[in-house]
Structure 1
Amino acid sequence: MLSRVERLKAALFSAPREISLERALLYTASHRQTEGEPTIIRRAKANRLYSRSRSDHPAGR
């Protein structure tokens, strides 16, 4: 099991990190619209908005 964990950890840390301005803007917009709701709901709605609106998604924009 330890080797599996080490493999997964190595894969995680070797992957290039990405920063998405589009994601940040969509999450910010969603969080502004959902003020006062429970955190888990806000995160779910932000994720849904991003998933449906991102430019590389077939159904997006």
Structure 2
Amino acid sequence: MDVDLIFKIAAIGILVAVLNQLLIRSGREEQAMMTTLAGLIVVLTMLITQISTLFDTIKSVFGL
């Protein structure tokens, strides 16, 4: 696993947190929730590709 992935996830988390606070303070709670959901979906998509790569590596190691 590359360290860049951890930094990307942290950057997305910081960006989503700042946007969330900005939108909540301006009275747009619905958009804040959608921003949080979008950030979560982006991070989960990144993790799913990494998990898929992990399973492919495990299959090749054990010859399955």
Structure of greater relative contact order (alpha carbons < 8 Å, 6+ residues apart)? 2
**Range class of TM-score, shorter chain:** 0.3 to 0.5
Q: TM-score, normalised by structure 2?
A: 0.34
